[in-house]
Amino acid sequence: MHQTLKEKIAGEITLSNEAGSTIRKWRNLFAISQKELALTLEVSPSVISDYEAGRRQSPGIATVRKIIDALIDIELARGGENLKRFEDEEDTSAIISIGEFSSAWSVERFIEITDSECLNTESVDMGRQIFGYTIIDSIKAITSYTSNDYMKVYGWSTERALLFSGVHYGRSPMIAVRAHPMKPAIVVYIRPENVDDLAVRLAELEHIVLLRTDVKPDELAKRLEAHR
């Protein structure tokens, strides 16, 4: 429930240079006190205060997940009016499917499950870990997404696979990825008509594993969801 909003908040926190400030921002947006959040998390209010003030090391993904779940649970208990407002603002039309893995996957495992072919001409680290995936309608993303909108596709971590459908020659998605400061671990072209050599070169310059697959987007979503 409310998974898209959770992914948005998680992305902002985990990718922020000041995670504590971003936690405070969302706590204040939901009008939740430090004491109330601490009570739900069963920790001391000083723990929340220390995170937000940067006195404590930035929380890991597991802690961020607990904080976000607590914020949503408190909001739901109050009636969820803020949830409706925030979710009405969400534009996820370009995202076909998004998810996080329960444990890290290797590039090799991802290739096997998605029946993909590696397009890199240079050697890649098949043991590199990824933690999630996002399947994207590339036409909608390229024509409607702003730079800030692209943050939505990264979920909990940039160490993920971005799978683009509707790719003709493979140049535009890699140009968009290279132009954005955040980079995925893997880019996948779903059933492309062709793959431009420039796309391969851009992927290698950014140390991104570039793949192609002939599996349809809905089938890819089923496979990835089944193995999460």
What pLDDT, in 10s, does the model give residues 128-183?
999 999 998 887 776 666 666 677 787 777 889 999 998 877 777 888 788 777 88
pLDDT band at 46 (very low <50, low <70, confident <90, very high): very high
**Cα separation values, 149 from 54, 98, 195, Å:** 27, 15, 25
Fold: same for 3-89 and 95-226: no
Q: How far apart are the first and last CA of the chain?
A: 17
Element at 9 (helix H, strand E): helix 3-15
Q: Specify the pLDDT at position 107.
A: 95
**Which residues have CB under 8 Å from 129's CB, separation 6+?**
104, 105, 106, 159, 185
Q: Specify the pLDDT at position 146.
A: 65
Q: Specify the pLDDT at position 196.
A: 86
Which CATH number is 3-89 given? Answer: 1.10.260.40
Cα torsion 109, 110, 116, 121: sign: negative
Mean pLDDT of 24-32: 89
pTM of the model: 0.62
Q: What is the pLDDT of residues 178-227, one digit of tens each?
A: 877 788 999 999 999 888 888 999 999 999 999 999 999 999 999 998 88
Q: Which CATH class is domain 95-226?
A: alpha beta
- Comparing 15 with 69, which gets the higher pLDDT? 69
Measured CA to CA, the distance from residue 211 to residue 66 in angstroms comes to 33
pLDDT band at 10 (very low <50, low <70, confident <90, very high): confident
Q: What is the pLDDT of residues 86-122, one digit of tens each?
A: 765 555 578 888 888 888 899 999 999 999 999 999 8
Nearest by Cα to 177 from 155, 144, 210: 210
Q: Which residues of 49-86 are buried (b: 16+ CB within 10 A; e: fewer)?
A: bebbeeeeebbeeebbbebbebbbebbeeeeeebbeeb
Element at 100 (helix H, strand E): strand 95-106
Question: pLDDT averaged over the chain?
Answer: 86
Q: Specify the pLDDT at position 140.
A: 76
Domain definitions of the chain by residue range: 3-89, 95-226
